[in-house]
């Protein structure tokens, strides 16, 4: 990603999205965004891109061992989920009462 300007994405933490590309592609199963890594253009989505991680014993995890965790995927591989139409949708930004809000292109509803 370019370091000159901070990129703007229409996806935020807590949004419902669908995976449109990759091994976990499923256009009918909405999932939740756990984290957005803006400077790398990646997102961590619940139950997507599960990897096994070998951990050493520590104060928090006294046993250690093999743990399955979600790894980040590219932000271009996901799309916002429109609950009203039950389909993936794009989003636009408009001003309402002086604040920028995201609006679904399919249903015209404000995305919270």
Distance between CA atoms of residues 70 and 78, nearest Å: 15
Report the pLDDT value the prediction gives residue 50, as an integer from 0 to 100.
Answer: 97
**For residues 95 and 30, is the Cβ–Cβ distance under 8 A?**
no
Domain range annotation of the chain: 16-83
Q: Report pLDDT digits (tens) over 12-25.
A: 999 999 999 999 99
Q: Report pLDDT digits (tens) over 30-77.
A: 999 999 999 999 999 999 999 999 999 999 989 999 999 999 999 999
Q: Is the pLDDT of residue 6 over 90?
A: no
Report the pLDDT value the prediction gives residue 82, as an integer from 0 to 100.
Answer: 94
Q: Which helix (H) or strand (E) holds 57?
A: none
**16-83: CATH number:** 2.30.30.30
């Amino acid at each position: 990603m370019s370091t000159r300007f901070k990129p703007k994405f229409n996806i935020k933490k807590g949004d419902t999205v669908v995976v449109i590309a990759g091994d976990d592609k499923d256009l009918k199963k909405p999932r939740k965004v756990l984290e957005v890594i803006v400077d790398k253009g990646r997102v961590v989505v619940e139950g997507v891109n599960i990897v096994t991680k070998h951990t050493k014993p520590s104060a928090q995890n006294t046993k250690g061992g093999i743990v399955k965790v979600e790894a980040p995927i590219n932000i271009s591989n996901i799309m916002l989920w429109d609950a009203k139409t039950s389909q993936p949708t794009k989003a636009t930004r408009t001003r309402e009462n002086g604040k920028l809000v995201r609006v679904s292109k399919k249903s015209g509803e404000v995305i919270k």
